[in-house]
Amino acid sequence: MGVTRLFLEITGYPQLGTGNLHIAHVLWGGLFLFIASLLPVIYINEWIIALSALISGFGVGLFIDEVGKFITQNNDYFSPSAAPLVYALFLLTAFVFTQVKIERRPSTRSIFYEVMERMTEILDKDLSEDEALELKRKLDVIIKRGDEPDLSNLAEIIREYFNSENRALAPQDPTFLERIRIGFRQFEESHVSRSWLRTGIIIGLLGWAAWSFISPISYFSSVKDPAQFQSLFDQLISQRLITNASGLTWFQAKVLMEGSTGTIALLAAVLLAAKKDKTGIWLGIADMLVVLTVVNLLIFYFDQFSTILLAAYQFILFSVLLRYQKRFLTNKK
């Protein structure tokens, strides 16, 4: 969606069509979503699922970009409420994804569903030795549980196939994404040391802290000068970002929260510089989590889609903080 906005801004919001005809990109988004929904129905290959997810991502991005038209009576594409709404949808999607990925004790039937889904790779002649071992492990779990005798018997029959010499397995050939992941891990282990990563996090936290102080400093400087404050107030009104006293209150809340989270980021950087890793990393993670889930909703409202790059920076910093915690602090004495 950010790419869509950037493209439209650069090209001057072109019109696809002549006269009264305008093919809005929400229609292209609907077309992508339609194609994404058809592919898994027509084909059953495993790679179709990934392709369908990719195409549906394009579709959702094009569709949600026009949400401003559907939440306002005058079909205002540039409605200030659109950006935080889109960002909230992204957060909700990320939350649902993380909840789905949480490991829970699966039922015997759900494990068998996983086995049958992966069995299609035998027909595609794409099942490797490692994948076969993983399937055998799942079959052993089903057989060992024995809570569903019919499935246990069928699991034993399938396991006999994998134990036979007639099994059709493909040579181990990592996918493109797997090769990237393996290469990244190898690079990380050989080149990214703890001190190097700590230094990068400190720089990242200081960068966010410096940026977050710009808005509070600018605001409090304008408060001291009535003419400058009036100019700021008039600008917010002209951009329809505030329409009443409560709107100004929300703007002030945004300024204060930016400054507060920036101060916390600065403190986390100081703690890391003092090699108090556990406290510094925990404080940095908490700070970025608040920024990404709460503060950015207000920032997106007042700064609109120009905040996308800032949010990406925050997300990368948050991910690096989590990675540092997992690599060097988890289960460490």
pLDDT of residue 333: 43
Question: What gap in Å lies between CA 51 and CA 39, rounded to an integer?
Answer: 8
Q: Give the residue-averaged pLDDT of 123-143.
A: 84
Range 85-94 average pLDDT? 85
- Nearest CA to 4 out of 56, 51, 55, 60 is that of 60
* Same domain? 207 vs 257: yes
The answer, yes or no, to whether residue 104 has pLDDT greater than 80, is no
Question: Residue 282: its pLDDT value, please?
Answer: 96
pLDDT of residue 331: 60
Q: Are residues 137 and 242 in the same domain?
A: no
Highest mean pLDDT among 93-102, 124-133, 179-188: 179-188
> Using an 8 Å Cβ cutoff, are 74 and 291 in contact?
no
Q: Return the top range by mean pLDDT from 112-126, 139-153, 244-258.
A: 139-153
Q: Which domain holds residue 34?
A: 2-101
Q: What is the mean pLDDT of the chain?
A: 85
Asked if residue 224 and residue 145 are part of one domain, the reply reads: no
Does residue 288 have a pLDDT over 90?
Answer: yes
The model's pTM is 0.73
pLDDT in tens, 34-83: 999 998 888 877 678 888 988 998 888 888 888 888 888 888 877 888 88
Mean per-residue pLDDT for 231-258?
A: 84
Any domain includes 174: no
- Residues 222 and 203 occupy one common structural domain: yes
Is 7 a domain residue?
yes
- At residue 173, the pLDDT reads 66
179 falls within a domain: no
Identify whether residues 92 and 158 lie together within a single domain.
Answer: no
| Token pair in block for residue 168 | 């059709």
Per-residue pLDDT at 263: 96
- Rounded Cα distance, 327 and 333, in Å: 13
Answer whether residue 332 shows pLDDT above 60: no
Number of structural domains (the chain) is 3
Which SS3 state, helix, strand or coil, does residue 193 take?
Answer: coil
DSSP 67-134: HHHHSSTT--TT-TTHHHHHHHHHHHHHHHHHHHHS-----HHHHHHHHHHHHHHHHTT---HHHHHH
Which helix (H) or strand (E) covers residue 2, if one does? helix 2-11
9-27 mean pLDDT: 73
